[in-house]
Amino acid sequence: MCGILAVLGCTDDSPAKRSRIIELSRRLRHRGPDWSGLHCDGNCYLAHERLAIVDPTSGDQPLYNEDKTIVVTVNGEIYNHKELREKLKNHEFRTGSDCEVIAHLYEEYGEDFVDMLDGMFSFVLLDTRDKSFIAARDAIGITPLYMGWGIDGSVWFASEMKALSDDCERFISFLPGHVYSSKQGVLRQWYNPPWYSEQLPSTQYDPLILRAAFEKAVIKRLMTDVPFGVLLSGGLDSSLVAAVASRHLADSEAACQWGSQLHTFCIGLKGSPDLKAAREVANYLGTRHHEFHFTVQEGIDALEEVIYHIETYDVTTIRASTPMFLMSRKIKSLGVKMVISGEGSDEIFGGYLYFHKAPNKKEFHEETCRKIKSLHLYDCLRANKSTSAWGVEARVPFLDKEFLNIAMSIDPEWKMVRPDLGRIEKWILRNAFDDEEKPYLPKHILYRQKEQFSDGVGYSWIDGLKDHANKQVTDSMLMNANFIYPENTPATKEAYFYRTIFEKFFPKNAARSTVPGGPSVACSTAKAVEWDASWSKNLDPSGRAALGVHAAAYEGGSDPKDTCLANGISMKLQEIPVENTANAV
């Protein structure tokens, strides 16, 4: 995962401006410590901080077309780049980089090529012939991208807002599945499959089709020229990723360089549920397993750095990001630069425990759609920025575009929790990999009920965070919170504590508006409360206990809301006209 920064149409093209761009790009160097690149063309600058995963020797960026009239800086991976090169045989490629196809696709097809890309990406492309440019983000927002505006009329793009927050008067989180064209002056939606508009799907469930699509998604993500592994918590999603990767690793290109034994990684407080479950899965699959421990105090000590890197004050995101941040540092110390992770499954299949209360398949499907559309503000943000903080790339096969379209086209009746039929949450996924002849996982792992990541690393983790926040924030401070923070007012001492840290690093109104909250969170939370009014009694936003839904509910827990209940987007887009974005939010 790399860091990109683009400044286009600024009035200053002096050496001082170039130095400033380099300084701001340096703020992203944790994302790409391997090399830095900068292209200057009059009043346009494209900077790149590279994490070399594919073609480490020749794939430095920015990348160009044959005569260097097209310049592109990319953060991400294009998994179908070899197939796209076949379509571009009349073009000359200078590198083996998977991202170089973007420059040539633009040459060949103009601005409407983005849907041809299969991967996770954010990019900015400059056409030096007329100084026009486009910027785009992948379908779900796996890779981060921010857009800003300078007082001089310049337009800015960056992988993280820390690179533009000081120099832009206004900035927003760039919407997933959208492309911005300077020629049209609009942010236009390029990803809009039938399910995205919440039309009720009707395709019959075929477990073999679902299984094959997921295996294909995992195999794609074995594309690497550097050491890699799988994040393994021992839950269903990460265990399936590890099982499939382990099964197909021997036939991949990566095996030629790094061997056919998969490396797996897990972190937790000593004695945590995840550590035990992950160890069992690793032993079953025969992986080279790495188990890391942390203490509550070590997590608390890292909070400021975590919030600086993940750029949010959302409570559940911070709780889950901290262990992932600490684990990523350990992973990087082993020389590993890429990991595969299980984010997205719960949103697609309704895996959060409050989905047990969904009254019908229409509401079930609409809720999964809303959750997928907000992933870029929560789990995708966490997975990307927690790992990128240490120069590690996270890949997420559940959010593969092809797999997602197949999974979301299935009649949601099959996803409903039906105890009378023996179907627990995510039954259709579990059933697809329930192979008696050649088991992917032991039955009790395949049907293990969900553990929230914040709790899975150790039940005392959340309690320790709350206790620490209670010591930092007084009753009086919380009582007056609406005066100090009138926008997205924190409702708990823990939320107040995180907000103070965030504001220290990102004090502008634009920064706090990139984090969902206020009416939008209340609206989405209302869905869970609508399904079960008793859930309104709790303020804590974790998925703990689920009020009896979880088979082994944590006695000290509270609200059943999941780590990604907030589906609204509080950002405002008055700065630019937006076409066809109704379904994006």
CA end-to-end span of the chain: 26
Tokens 């009239």 locate to 69
The span from the CA of 100 to the CA of 92, in Å, is 10
271 known member of a binding site: no
Please indicate if the annotation marks 229 as binding a ligand.
no
Angstrom distance (rounded) from CA 393 to CA 385: 9
DSSP H helices, 88-167, are 101-109
Per the structure block, which two tokens stand in for 312? 């949010």
* Amino acid symbol at 308: Y
Of 425, 399, 346, residue with least CA distance to 218:
399
- Judge contact between 328 and 390, C-beta under 8 A: yes
**Cα–Cα distance, 85 to 93 (Å, whole number):** 9
CA angle 27, 32, 33 (to 5 degrees): 90
Residue 22 counted as an annotated binding residue: no
Q: Is 342 annotated as a binding residue?
A: yes
Nearest to 514 by CA among 526, 506, 524: 506
Interatomic CA distance for residues 376 and 317, integer angstroms: 12
Sign, Cα dihedral of 138, 140, 143, 145? positive
How do beta strands 146-149 and 155-158 pair? antiparallel
Do residues 175 and 528 make contact, with C-beta atoms less than 8 angstroms apart? Answer: no
Catalytic residue among 2, 99, 369, 564: 2
- Residue 2 among the catalytic residues: yes
DSSP bridge pairs for 506: none
| Residue located via tokens 């021992």 | 234
Give the whole-angstrom CA distance, residue 282 versus residue 232. 8
- Check whether 200 is labelled as a binding-site residue: no
* Separation between Cα atoms, residue 46 and residue 49, nearest integer Å: 11
Question: In terms of residues, how long is the chain?
Answer: 585
Contact 316, 559 (CB under 8 A): no
Which tokens go with 157? 């793009």
Q: Ramachandran region of residue 68, left (φ > 0), alpha (ψ -120 to 50) or beta? A: left
Mark the binding-site residues for ATP, compressed into ranges: 231, 267, 341-342
**Residues annotated in a binding site:** 98, 231, 267, 341-342
Extract the annotated binding site for L-glutamine.
Answer: 98
Give the residue numbers annotated as catalytic, written as ranges: 2
